[in-house]
Amino acid sequence: MRDIDLLVKRDQCDTVRRVAEQLGYRSGSRYDDGVSGHHLAPLIRDGVVFEIHWQLFAPAIAGAPDGPDTDRLIDRAEPITIASQQVLGLSPVDTLLHVAAHATHQHLCETRLSGLVDVTLIVERWQGVLEWRTVMAEAKRWGVDRGLRLALALCDRFSLLQLPAEAHAACDLSRVPEVVVEAAVSQIAQDGHLDGVGSNFDRLFDASIPARHRLALAWRRITARNEDAGMQGARHALIRPGKLLMHYGRRSLASSGRERHTARQRAHCRNVMAGWLNPLR
């Protein structure tokens, strides 16, 4: 996770947004939705993205119809210290489930190893605190028990984490089909970069993504510029399309067939994972 997320009750969101705007945060131009299913449109200040959530993630991501209950999460929150300031953070169990679901249910392991490293650090940090039967019971309540099992199985596959015996007994990682693990490993191991174009280049050729979304992605990439660069940034935005066409044109044409094949493979992996993680959808 590379942004700041603040979880508040739904009726507090507008108040928190006004406070954030007073602190200099502004709506990011690259986001066109005023509100999502679980947070307000992200705000940005000095390149830092700030999201105001009333739910941890969209309810449709998990098998549970309503996802984790925000009031319950806030009631279970514990004091933590950030930049010498004491604030409330999710409980150890809720933190683990959130990170595991974020990597699996929400992003289908396209966050590469970063999500698994987060899971590893959380388990190691609270190894003497986490009661694994409680963890699994809460995961089932959220509807993310399969995502938790998959995240832990991947940590084991990549030798990131030595799970205690009670975790194996409570989670039963053998229930994760090997085909799902292999699909996740493929997602994590994907190259995703084409000579500096960026990790979303392959998505331009992914037929499973609506054409208008692929066009929007291409336009954002072409017109991207440094917001703080003033006229120099504007000049860069004008010459960037020409440079992209010259630099990537022949390479893109030569590799488009391979990229489409790769995109189909990745779409297949996403479908395998999504079908197992969310069997009711």
Domain ranges of the chain: 91-189, 201-277
Contact 108, 185 (CB under 8 A): no
How many Å separate Cα 218 from the centre of its chain?
Answer: 21
Pairing state between β 4-7 and 26-27? unpaired
What pLDDT is attached to residue 3?
81
Q: What would the mean pLDDT of 7-22 be, rounded to a whole number?
A: 94
129-181: pLDDT as tens digits: 999 999 999 999 988 999 999 999 999 998 888 898 999 999 999 999 999 99
Q: Which among 169, 141, 165, 139 is positioned nearest to 151, based on CA atoms?
A: 139
Kindly write down the DSSP assignment for every residue of 63-90, as one continuous string.
SSSS-S-HHHHHHH-EEEEETTEEEEE-
pLDDT at 55 over 50: yes
pTM of the prediction? Answer: 0.72
Reported as a pLDDT band with limits 50, 70 and 90, residue 72 is: very high
Q: What would the mean pLDDT of 2-30 be, rounded to a whole number?
A: 88
In angstroms, rounded to a whole number, what is the distance separating the alpha carbons of residues 90 and 249?
47
pLDDT at 18 over 60: yes
Task: Name which of 29-33, 133-137, 263-267 the model is least confident about.
Answer: 29-33
The two three-digit tokens of residue 234, written as one number: 């504007």
Contact 95, 115 (CB under 8 A): no
Sign of the alpha-carbon dihedral angle for 242, 244, 246, 252:
negative
H helices of the chain, in order, are 13-22, 70-76, 92-101, 113-125, 132-142, 145-157, 165-171, 178-189, 211-223, 230-277
pLDDT at 28 over 50: yes
Average model confidence (pLDDT) across the chain: 78
pLDDT at 259 over 70: no
How many Å separate Cα 224 from the centre of its chain?
Answer: 22
